[in-house]
Amino acid sequence: MSSASPFHGLSAFPATPANIDGRVDTEALGRLLERLCEAGVASIGLLGSTGIYAYLTREERLRAVKAAVECVAGRIPLIVGAGALRTDHAVGLARDAEAAGADALLLAPVSYTPLTQEEAYEHFLAVAKATKLPVCIYNNPGTTHFTFSRELLQRLSDIETIRAVKMPLPVDGDLPGELAALREKTDLAIGYSGDWGAADALLSGADAWYSVVGGLLPRTTLGLAKAAMAGDVDGARRLDKLFAPLWQTFKAFGSIRVVYMLLEHLSLARAELPRPLLPLKSADRQRVLEIVEPLIALEGGRKS
């Protein structure tokens, strides 16, 4: 357990290295996490979307959590994704994470049949009640296909252990307006995902950046996060510009496909995307490699 807030600053979301059958490589995962600890990120978001939680069995998710706790416990707060289609499964995953020593939960309203606002509320309530861990609401309609109303976020923020929300970038781009509205209605710590908008979000006063690139290039990402949180507009813009071409590939190919190919390029892990997801084609890989080279150099070179 770490006593620092898991919901403030740069939260790095690593991949979960696994083989083609969905068996997690706990050693490789440990290496990824060690790198994040050494860089000094504020928290780790294990088993987020990039961490392929949706594609792993309960057993493999528990193996990943245990390996992560062993690696990072007491050093950096560990947030664990507990999302599942069924409420009882999400409750089980939350209890697994707590028993294994996680510091916090990230909960996505995964859906197949579209959920009503009330159904999402009851789902969150059941999972929140199942453990003592603080919960971050995972709000990402692009993968969960659920849209939170402001009223629902307000109701959820009244549940004692629900402490934070991970927001998608606002469609209208009005970060200050959205932050003001959410702060008026809730007492949640408010963070953003969507790496390309994170500098703006932090400069606008957001509490956290839930970052995919932070799971891969933690030192450089932390530099950007710190500049933006310190209000250093020029410094943040300069780093943001260096990342921009990589983020274009995130948008073009999906960040998960880019991250999994780069794990191998960085000699961090051999990790398979869960099929049906496919590796990038050769020409696209080449494009990503050229784009990422300066960032790798900045990060401190390739491990080998």
- Which residues are known binding-site members for pyruvate? 50
**What residues contact 140, with CB distance under 8 A and at least 6 apart?**
49, 108, 166, 168, 193
Q: Point out the residues that are catalytic.
A: 138, 166
- Read off the amino acid at residue 80: V
Specify the residue, 32 or 84, whose C-beta has the smaller distance to a second copy: 84
DSSP the chain: ---S-TTSEEEE-----B-TTS-B-HHHHHHHHHHHHHHT-SEEEETSTTTTGGGS-HHHHHHHHHHHHHHHTTTS-EEEE---SSHHHHHHHHHHHHHHT-SEEEE----SSPPPHHHHHHHHHHHHHH-SS-EEEE--HHHH-----HHHHHHHHTSTTEEEEEEPPPTT--HHHHHHHHHHH---EEEE--GGGHHHHHHTT-SEEEESGGGTSHHHHHHHHHHHHTT-HHHHHHHHHHHHHHHHHHHHH-HHHHHHHHHHHTTS---PPPTTS-PPPHHHHHHHHHHHHHHHHHHT----
Q: Are strands 104-107 and 189-192 parallel, antiparallel or unpaired?
A: unpaired
Specify the residue, 110 or 190, whose C-beta has the smaller distance to a second copy: 110
Residue 142 Cβ, how far from a second copy at the closest point, in Å? 7
Specify the residue, 275 or 303, whose C-beta has the smaller distance to a second copy: 275
For residue 7, which of 43, 58, 55 has the smallest C-alpha distance? 43
Residue 274 Cβ, how far from a second copy at the closest point, in Å? 6
Specify the residue, 183 or 281, whose C-beta has the smaller distance to a second copy: 281
Specify the residue, 233 or 277, whose C-beta has the smaller distance to a second copy: 277
Residue 81 Cβ, how far from a second copy at the closest point, in Å? 12
Residue 247 Cβ, how far from a second copy at the closest point, in Å? 17
Specify the residue, 66 or 89, whose C-beta has the smaller distance to a second copy: 89
Residue 157 Cβ, how far from a second copy at the closest point, in Å? 19
For residue 124, which of 75, 184, 177, 82 has the smallest C-alpha distance? 82
Binding residues, as ranges, are: 50
**Interaction site with a second copy (CB under 8 A):** 20-22, 49, 54-55, 85-88, 109-110, 112-116, 118-120, 122-123, 126, 142-143, 145, 254, 256, 274-278
What is the phi/psi pair of residue 170, to 5°? -65, 135
Residue 284 Cβ, how far from a second copy at the closest point, in Å? 11
